[in-house]
Amino acid sequence: MQIGYLGLGAMGGALARRLQLSRKLVVFDLNPAAVADLTTRGAEAAASPADLARRCDVVFLCLPKSEHVRSAIFDADGLIEGVRPGAILVDQTTGDPNATRAMAERLLARGVELVDAPVSGGAMGAEAGTIAIMLGATDAQRARLAPILADISPNLFHAGAVGNGQVIKLVNNLISHSQRLLTQEGMALAVKNGVAPERAAEILLAGGARNAYMERILEPRVLKGRLKVGFTLGLAEKDVKLACELGQASGVPMPFGALASGLYHEMVAENGYGAEVETSGLITQARAETRYIPDDAPA
């Protein structure tokens, strides 16, 4: 079985490198440097998405948005021009579940299957093989893909039918990105009122305020001045906005999500889509006012 990977950015590249430890890959990306990184490790480069599809039985995709996935599949020289009946596409994008379901239905008419398998845990988790994979697929598709996905991480969770992986990933990111803002706000409040940042984090981690952001990012990285976590403000805004749109479409009130979405929108407008998520907003405010991140700390 030949496996391909399309989309070799920060997350897709990390996932492909992990998969490449046990699988021979054919890869494609618009960035030649990203392709070169994989080919120097033994992958084969495809000339186009269509070429990739012709050579593969299973094709993974990891792109910024569902619109990019749609283009990679259906545009001229896209996957659709080379994919064979019986092949399966695995979308690891944090995207729009309804758009994914529509693409899956369209592909099924051509005898091609599409499932979604977004991940949580960051590029470091992908490289380490500890990332959580959230699969939206039938039981038969799950059985077919489980051995391949296990080569990325043993932490595979079947969320239900196609699109459900992206549903739960959006819920995950809605909570985690909102949690990030509230945690920063609380830390700024503690430090401004005389509690040393390291002591504040120690106490909060021992109590009911403990959360994954504080444990994995704030305490070990941000408080030491390590602000590059490999995730951009633009992606955070996109994820929270998609979650709010899904809530609106399904009749779920989203007052806290809407507030977080608005804050991320403002931060993107101020800092740019590609700014690191930890270098803007409340963290920079707290740094300026309390200096709890050293000015000369390495990034």
CA distance 104 to 113: 6
149/173 same-domain check:
no
Short-list 196, 173, 171, 175, CA closest to 247: 171
Q: What is residue 281's predicted lDDT score, i.e. its pLDDT?
A: 52
187/233 same-domain check:
yes
| Residue ranges of the chain with per-residue pLDDT less than 70 | 280-299
CA distance 12 to 73: 16
135/179 same-domain check:
no
The full DSSP string for 60-120 is EE--SSHHHHHHHHHSTTSGGGTPPTT-EEEE-S---HHHHHHHHHHHHTTT-EEEE--EE
140/196 same-domain check:
no
171/130 same-domain check:
no
43/157 same-domain check:
yes
CA distance 190 to 177: 20
Domain assignment of residue 95, yes or no: yes
What is the value of pTM for the model shown?
Answer: 0.90
Domain assignment of residue 249, yes or no: yes
Short-list 69, 71, 109, 75, CA closest to 89: 69
Q: What is residue 229's predicted lDDT score, i.e. its pLDDT?
A: 77
Q: What is residue 210's predicted lDDT score, i.e. its pLDDT?
A: 96
**Domain assignment of residue 114, given as a range:** 3-162
12/146 same-domain check:
yes
158/196 same-domain check:
no
Domain assignment of residue 297, yes or no: no
CA distance 211 to 143: 33
Q: What is residue 135's predicted lDDT score, i.e. its pLDDT?
A: 98
For 9, the token pair is 């950015």
Q: For the chain, how many structural domains are there in total?
A: 2
Verify whether residue 238 is a known catalytic residue: no
- Please identify, among 112, 142, 162, the residue that sits at the C-terminal boundary of a domain: 162
Domain assignment of residue 70, yes or no: yes
158/181 same-domain check:
no
171/125 same-domain check:
no
202/276 same-domain check:
yes
Domain assignment of residue 48, yes or no: yes
- Please identify, among 117, 132, 162, the residue that sits at the C-terminal boundary of a domain: 162
- Please identify, among 147, 162, 177, the residue that sits at the C-terminal boundary of a domain: 162
Considering the candidates 24, 169, 224, 238, report the single residue annotated as catalytic.
169
Domain assignment of residue 295, yes or no: no
CATH number at residue 193: 1.10.1040.10
270/212 same-domain check:
yes
Short-list 284, 92, 94, 122, CA closest to 216: 122
Domain assignment of residue 32, yes or no: yes
CATH number at residue 56: 3.40.50.720
